[in-house]
Amino acid sequence: MSPAVDPIASFLIGTVPVYGDAILAPMDGFSDLPYRSLCREFGSSLSYTPFVNAMEILARQPRALRLLDFLPAERPVVFQLFDSDEERLLKAAQSVLDLQPDILDINMGCSVRSVAGRGAGAGLLRDPRKVARIISSLSRALPVPVTAKIRLGWDDRSHNYLEVARAVADHGGSLIAVHARTRQQRYSGRADWDAIAAVKAAVSIPVIGNGDVQRAEDIQRMRQHTSCDGVMIGRGAIGNPWIFQQRERHQVPSAEIVATIRRHAQAMVSYYGERDGLVLFRKHLVRYLQSLTVAEETRAAMLSTTSLAAFEEHLSRQERLQGSPSRLTRGRPPR
């Protein structure tokens, strides 16, 4: 029998191999351990934690530290931190090394006022020299690769993404993820894939593209358009883990969608407890149900219950009602 041959990595982050080109984006409130691990099984090639406040890490706040939970099967795992203070970022990064992340990422893309307004997240884009200092300090001090997730700039008058990208690449950064919108745009307007292509042409480290990937076919379209090494999927992956299998939603049988809803809900309850797990699951469930024809009374009951037994009963009713159009209404198609 010939020896097993390791698959060829799609790209390297420092010395960390990444297998596959589709990646679940770090999303506050969505990319938690239950959903990340599900998406990894479906084909997402990296696990990014939601962004965590460096100040909360240094204060050892349980909520912040729990955001860094991960399963061994999720590796490679990327811890994403945010802050405006260079020294705090370094101390926080050093303090989480005992949790054994594979990669450390600095969030330079969050557009929320409470983050960007105090100079963290996308606020860092206004000072490329500070970006360079942060990446240099962390890459020299940490034994794991340091990466950054950026936007195109603060607003339409300051598209300085190439300067920021070079600040990352020239000062020890191992990868750049580019959300192809400005802070001012937030999630409106079209993502500028040409800008991702420009970053890829300007730096020698891997580049991940992000923005307007809603369908499985968009993954390869972005790669072909930009030559990026990987594609990061945020809103298009909510309630749609099949995108990481390169499958469109309409290709997934209703029975498989229902089975995945059940599995995801059970994972949320197992991790957070019954009440909190089901409440936190609702934002996922809304998106899952858009792919099904669902009785209005069943939909309302599933979105309001805090009992797993009741949820399972409603889900089973949905399975039984499948194919009875007189009792059902179709949800709006996913955006």
Task: Based on the fold, state whether residues 198 and 236 are members of the same structural domain.
Answer: yes
Final residue belonging to a domain, choices 216, 245, 274: 245
Task: Based on the fold, state whether residues 27 and 88 are members of the same structural domain.
Answer: yes
Final residue belonging to a domain, choices 182, 212, 245: 245
Task: Based on the fold, state whether residues 157 and 290 are members of the same structural domain.
Answer: no
What does the DSSP 8-state code read for residue 105?
E
**For the chain, how many structural domains are there in total?**
2
pLDDT (tens, 9 = 90+) of the chain, 335 residues, equals 444 446 799 999 999 999 999 999 999 999 999 999 999 999 999 999 999 999 999 999 999 999 999 999 999 999 999 999 999 999 999 999 999 999 999 999 999 999 999 999 999 999 999 999 999 999 999 999 999 999 999 998 989 999 999 999 999 999 999 999 999 999 988 999 999 999 999 999 999 999 999 999 999 999 999 999 999 999 999 999 999 999 999 999 999 999 999 999 999 999 999 999 999 999 999 999 998 988 788 899 999 999 999 999 999 887 776 644 333 334 443 33
Within a domain: 45: yes
What pLDDT sits at residue 192? 97
Task: Based on the fold, state whether residues 258 and 231 are members of the same structural domain.
Answer: no
First and final C-alpha spacing in the chain: 49
Task: Based on the fold, state whether residues 54 and 144 are members of the same structural domain.
Answer: yes
H helices present in the chain, as ranges: 33-42, 54-58, 62-66, 86-95, 113-116, 128-141, 161-169, 193-202, 216-226, 254-272, 274-289, 296-302, 308-321
**Which of these, 192, 233, 268, 218, lies nearest to 42 by C-alpha position?**
233
CA distance 185 to 276: 32
CA distance 207 to 200: 6
Task: Based on the fold, state whether residues 201 and 312 are members of the same structural domain.
Answer: no
219 touches 225 (CB < 8 A): no
What pLDDT sits at residue 322? 61
45 touches 22 (CB < 8 A): yes
- Whether omega before 76 lies within 30 degrees of 0, making that bond cis, reads yes
- Whether 110 is a known active-site residue: answer yes
Q: Kindly tell me the sign of the dihedral angle through the C-alpha atoms of 86, 92, 94, 96.
A: negative
Within a domain: 3: no
Q: Kindly tell me the sign of the dihedral angle through the C-alpha atoms of 111, 112, 115, 116.
A: positive
Task: Based on the fold, state whether residues 265 and 238 are members of the same structural domain.
Answer: no
CA distance 95 to 105: 14
Task: Based on the fold, state whether residues 140 and 282 are members of the same structural domain.
Answer: no
Helix, strand or coil, per DSSP, at residue 160: coil
Question: Choosing from 110, 124, 146, 269, which is the catalytic residue?
Answer: 110
Task: Based on the fold, state whether residues 220 and 289 are members of the same structural domain.
Answer: no
- DSSP helix, strand, coil percent of the chain (3-state; round to 5): 50, 15, 40
Segments forming the whole domain that contains residue 315: 253-330
Task: Based on the fold, state whether residues 73 and 187 are members of the same structural domain.
Answer: yes
Q: What phi and psi, each to the nearest 5 degrees, are found at residue 90?
A: -65, -45
This prediction's pTM: 0.92
Q: What is the CATH number of the domain that holds 234?
A: 3.20.20.70
> What is the number of other CB atoms lying within 10 angstroms of the CB of residue 161?
25
